Structure 1
Amino acid sequence: MKELSWTDPEIRNELARLKQMKPFCYGLTNYIAANLSANVLLAVGAGPAIGTAMDWPSAFGGHAHAVWINAASLMSCGPDEIRLAAKSAHEGGVPWVLDPVAVGAGAVEYDAVVRSLLEFKPTAIRGNASELIALAGGDGGGQGVETTMTSDQAVPFLAKVAGEIGTIAAVSGAVDYITDGTTTYAVGGGDVRLTQVTGAGCSLGALMAGMLANAEDPIMAVVAAHAVYAEAANRAKSAIGTGNFAVAFLDQLSLMDPSEA
């Protein structure tokens, strides 16, 4: 297992690639996380569009530079729309990210729709430990959208998710772990207040999509998203309280310069 952080040149190179491209990223996410997800992408130079207006799922899903789908978008759109966005991305060769929010927490009908999206071969899947364990067929013990497990406990399940689905699997926690089923990376750092800001985990999926838009090495793009996120949180540590932290985090994300030595 290799540890990477913002100090590694390959991480900064991935952010430079994103900033150079300024990708259009189309997302389906829940209304709670939409604002932060859009602002995270704007902070790094990407252009977001979120939602299922008219024929957006087919048009934007198939022609954006990257797509991210947060399963909790089912709060405000239907299964057909979310599947159409995933199908359009898959058939259009567009890299896309799945965030299986709350899968395995006991909502059987919801879980079935989320699992049906795997048919469209997401480029990457991200989630908390309970979600990734459940997706691998284990008992994740999720309580709604919250995890009861640690990222360390999810590591043995990541390779199964990556291998069986043919994707990059990433779990967030005190330490983030990312694997393609063969190679595993660890990213430390961050700030516990990321768990106290609504939509922070969901917005990481948006940043992953942005990084994947112009990626030569998809797993490195996913690792870079986690490392950039962690570094921005580290730089916001002096903020007082969770509200100020959320603003400081976005500020620091917008100020990150890939040319830093």
Structure 2
Amino acid sequence: MQELSWATPSVRQSLAALKQSPPFVYGLTNYIAANLSANLLLAVGAGPAIGSAMDWPQRFATGANAMWLNTAALMSSGPEALWTAADSADKAGTPWVLDPVAMGAGAPQYDAAVHKLLDFHPTVIRGNASELIALAGGSGGGKGVETTASSDDALAFIKDLAQRTGAIVAVSGPVDYITNGTQVYAVKGGDIRLTQVTGAGCSLGALIAALLANTDDALLATAAAHALYSVAAERASAAIGTASFATAFVDQLSLLDPAE
């Protein structure tokens, strides 16, 4: 297992590549997380488009540099929109991120719709421990969108899920783990208030997608996104409360300089 952080040169190089070639990143997410996701992408230099209007799921998934699907988008979009976007990205070779929000929380019809997305070969799967344990076939025990398991609990499950799907799998927690099934990166740090800001976890999928756009190393890009999250959260830690922390977090992402 290898630890990554902002001090790791390859992490800063990943951000530099994004800034040198700003990607168009398409996403389907829920209306709660959309604003933060868009602002976060803009903060690092990417261009976002979010939503399932008309033929966007097919056209934008095909034409984007990368895509992320937050399955809580099913709050306002039908499952066909997500399946169409995933299928279109898969066929076009668009790298894409699956965020299986609330998987395993006790809604079997929803879980089935989420599980079907694995048929379209996501490049990366990211989520909390309960979601990923459930997606891997275990008993995640999530409470709604919140996890009841730790990232350490999920480590064996995400390695198995990565091996079975061919995707990079990343779990968030006190320590984030990112794996391709054999190699594992660990990212420490951050701020507990990331768990108290609506959409912070969902928006991480958007950042991962942005970094995927300019690399062939999906494992490193995913780990780098977690490291960027960690350092921005740490630098925002002087904020007094959760609302000011959310603003400071986006500010700090926008201020990250790869040449630092």
**In 1: Cα distance, 2:7 partner to 2:129 partner:** 26
* Structure 2 residue aligned with 1:154: 154
- The unaligned stretches of length 5 or more in structure 2 are none
* Structure 2 residue aligned with 1:8: 8
Letter in 2 for 1:195: T
SS of the aligned residue for 1:38 comes to helix
**In 1: Cα distance, 2:217 partner to 2:123 partner:** 12
* Structure 1 residue aligned with 2:61: 61
* Structure 2 residue aligned with 1:46: 46
**In 2: Cα distance, 1:181 partner to 1:145 partner:** 25
Render the CA deviation track for 1:50-88: whole Å, top value 9, x for unaligned: 001110000001110000000000000001111000001
* Structure 2 residue aligned with 1:255: 255
**In 2: Cα distance, 1:217 partner to 1:122 partner:** 14
* Structure 2 residue aligned with 1:201: 201
* Structure 1 residue aligned with 2:140: 140
**In 1: Cα distance, 2:81 partner to 2:130 partner:** 26
**In 1: Cα distance, 2:38 partner to 2:16 partner:** 19
Shift of 1:231: 0.4
Q: After superposition, where does 1:97-136 map in structure 2 within 5 Å? A: 97-136=97-136
Shift of 1:21: 1.1
SS of the aligned residue for 1:88 comes to helix
* Structure 1 residue aligned with 2:168: 168
**In 2: Cα distance, 1:40 partner to 1:75 partner:** 22
**In 1: Cα distance, 2:241 partner to 2:104 partner:** 32
**In 2: Cα distance, 1:179 partner to 1:214 partner:** 19
SS of the aligned residue for 2:11 comes to helix
Shift of 1:28: 0.1
* Structure 2 residue aligned with 1:217: 217
**In 2: Cα distance, 1:196 partner to 1:169 partner:** 23
**In 2: Cα distance, 1:32 partner to 1:205 partner:** 14
Shift of 1:205: 0.2
The share of aligned pairs that are identical, in percent, is: 67
Letter in 1 for 2:26: Y
Shift of 1:169: 0.3
**In 2: Cα distance, 1:19 partner to 1:189 partner:** 24
Shift of 1:216: 2.7
Letter in 2 for 1:197: V
Render the CA deviation track for 1:195-218: whole Å, top value 9, x for unaligned: 000000000000000000111311
**In 1: Cα distance, 2:211 partner to 2:250 partner:** 17
| TM-score w.r.t. length of structure 1 | 0.99
Shift of 1:182: 1.1
Render the CA deviation track for 1:156-178: whole Å, top value 9, x for unaligned: 11111101111000000011000
Letter in 1 for 2:173: G
SS of the aligned residue for 2:254 comes to helix
**In 2: Cα distance, 1:255 partner to 1:26 partner:** 23
Q: Aligned residue pairs: how many?
A: 260
**In 1: Cα distance, 2:26 partner to 2:226 partner:** 19
Question: RMSD value over aligned CA atoms?
Answer: 0.5
**In 2: Cα distance, 1:87 partner to 1:33 partner:** 23
SS of the aligned residue for 2:54 comes to coil
* Structure 1 residue aligned with 2:182: 182
Shift of 1:219: 0.5
| TM-score w.r.t. length of structure 2 | 0.99
**In 1: Cα distance, 2:214 partner to 2:33 partner:** 24
